[in-house]
Structure formats: structure tokens, C-alpha cells
Amino acid sequence: MQNLGQLFDIAVELGVKNDPRGKKEIQKILTKREKSYKKLDKEKKKYFDTETLHHIYSDSRILYGKKDRKIKKIIVGIDMETPELLLANELNKNGQKIDAIMAHHPEGRALLNLTGVMDLQETIAGELGVPINIAEKLLADRVGKIDRALHADNIQRNTRNAELLDIPYFNTHTPADNCAYQHVTKHICNKEFDNLGEIVDALMKIDEYRLSAEYGNPPVIISGSNSSKPGKIVATGFTGGTSGNKDIYEHLSRSGVGTILTMHMSEDYKKEAEKHHINVIVCSHMASDSLGMNYILDEYEKKGIEIIPCSGMIRVSRI
């Protein structure tokens, strides 16, 4: 038995351990945040999200439920919205005893704060050789667009429904995506391949991708072909909130990036990558998110938590 706060903290800890920015940089950001919070007047402090002072992942939070709520069984999915909340409630009526609902994609204030994690993309682009001034300006433009779009969203809808049902509700987004990023970096990007076809074969050796392929959703090459030479392989589309600015591909290409692995890519991004001769492998969205979530769920399983996967979650235990 764990409590809700402990489960959430396990995810944050794993997120930090696998964060491309490293612990020191993360601490620096938190210290800066604390300082600017202290400078705010009383009125402004009222509206400041103090959760963001405790950990770096503004797109992940306990959406509903007191931290000391005892948890033995959870239902977990990539998107957990009102249909899944009602599903949990229905399963409980059938005697399941689900104590909490865990989502990957952000909801409520975590969704509103999505862009708060995007500066992680600057670190990744910087490591690949894109000058920080370019990475920073491209990202700022994109962040503005996303923030303006989210501002219009019905943000508290699902959170309020969890409250009405009185089922604890939380999400872990970037902590899980960091784990997936490190997994593919270690098992794919850091290895050598003669062509893209070989990379797809290697991806298929990762259980989440193999199982996703069984449902008809395997990793696919959307720019380049089976016989294309990979060059430098990077997983730029795995963590950092959501897609960055598509204009980054020009700079990544100049910095020597040959192949991008990503969770998903829209058509206009694909066109831009092609324009700059970058190969792209879309690894499957739900499978990639599941890969990251499974790192967290393995830790929960070790603590005796029962897990019911649903909503795109492909559960693979590596214990």
C-alpha cells in the first residue's frame, strides 16, 4: 500500500533521473522559480501555481485527491478523460476497488502548464549542436502559440468530474517521456545501423512496439526509405511537452542530424524535415508513451500496486 503523494513522487524522481538536463540544471531552475515567487506581492502569490515550486514537471500533477489517500489498485491510460473516469466508476460498481486514475497526457492545470516543460527541447537541440540563441527563439514562438490555444480550452472539465466521483486522479507526462527518450537513445540512437530498415527491425525488438505492431500500428518510416542511410540518429520527438518549432529541422540538418525518431509527426512537420533531407521514423505514439509509463509502473508494481491498463496503455513489465 502506498499513498497518492508517494506514487506521484516516485514518478518525479524517475523523471529527474532520466532528464537530459541533469539534476544540477533542474535544481538551478527550481531555485530561480522560488526566488521569483518570493518577489511576488500577496495578490499575485494567490494565483501562482505553488506545485511548480516542488518539482520541475509543470505538465504532471495530482489533479484531484489528497496526498495521503491510500492506493492499492490503479487504472492507467495514455488519455484518461471523462469516459475513462466513468469506466473506473463502473468497474468499481462491479467490485474492482480502483483507488486512483492515472493518465499520461496532461489534464487540468497540468495541461495549461504544458509549455513549462518545453525548454527541455533547448537542451536536446543544444546538445546536437544547434546554437542556444536559435533554439531559444524558435521555441519561444511555438510556446506562445500553444499557450494561446490552451487558454481557450475547457481545462477543468475532467478534473472536476474526478472530484464529483471522488476518485483520486493524477498524471505523469514528462517524467514518463524522459524515460522513453533515454530508452530509445540507449537502445537505438547510440547504436550503428546501415539503413532505416534495420532501425525499424531494432525498434520491433522493444516489446511495446512489437505489441503495437500486432494491433496494426508498427513503427513507420515517413521520410526516407528502408534502404536510406541513417547518419546521426536522434530522438528529438520523445520528450519536452509537445512538438517544438518545425523550423528547427533546418538547423538540426546543418548540425549533422540524419535521422529523427519521434512519437508522432504532423504533415507540415514531415514536409519541413523532408525539405532538409532528414529521415524520420515515427515510432508509434501510444507504444512510445507506454514505454515511458512502464518505467514508472514497474516501480509501482515493486511496491505492490495493482495495475489495470486501458486507453492505449500497453503494459510491459521489466521487473
Q: Which residues bind Fe ion (CB under 5 A)?
A: 177, 289
Return the number of the residue (168 or 292) whose C-beta is nearest Fe ion.
292
Please identify which residue in the block is written with the cell numbers 504533415.
267
Dihedrals φ, ψ of 42, to 5°?
Answer: -55, -45
C-alpha distances (whole Å) from 206 to each of 50, 70, 196, 217, 288 are 38, 33, 16, 14, 10
Smallest distance, Å, CB 97 to Fe ion? 28
Query: Taking the complex as a whole, how short is the minimal distance between the CB of residue 147 and Fe ion, in angstroms?
Result: 19
Residue with cell string 507540415: 268
- Whose grid coordinates read 500497453? 314
Task: Choose among 129, 140, 132, 177: nearest CA to 15.
Answer: 177
In the complex, the smallest distance separating the C-beta of residue 67 from Fe ion, rounded to whole angstroms, is 24
Judged by beta carbon, residue 163 or residue 298, the one nearer Fe ion is 298
Cα separation values, 127 from 57, 99, 121, 221, Å: 21, 41, 10, 24
Nearer to Fe ion, 134 or 293 (CB): 293
> 99 or 119, CB closer to Fe ion?
119
Nearest to 308 by CA among 137, 5, 55, 88: 88
Enter the C-alpha cell of residue 186: 540507449
Instruction: Output the smallest distance, CB 315 to Fe ion, in A.
Output: 16
Tell me the closest approach of the beta carbon of residue 134 to Fe ion, in angstroms. 25
Residue 31 to residue 146: CA distance in whole angstroms? 26
> Which C-beta is closer to Fe ion: that of 177 or that of 208?
177
Q: Which is nearer to Fe ion, 107 or 289 (CB)?
A: 289
CB of 66 to Fe ion, least distance (A): 27
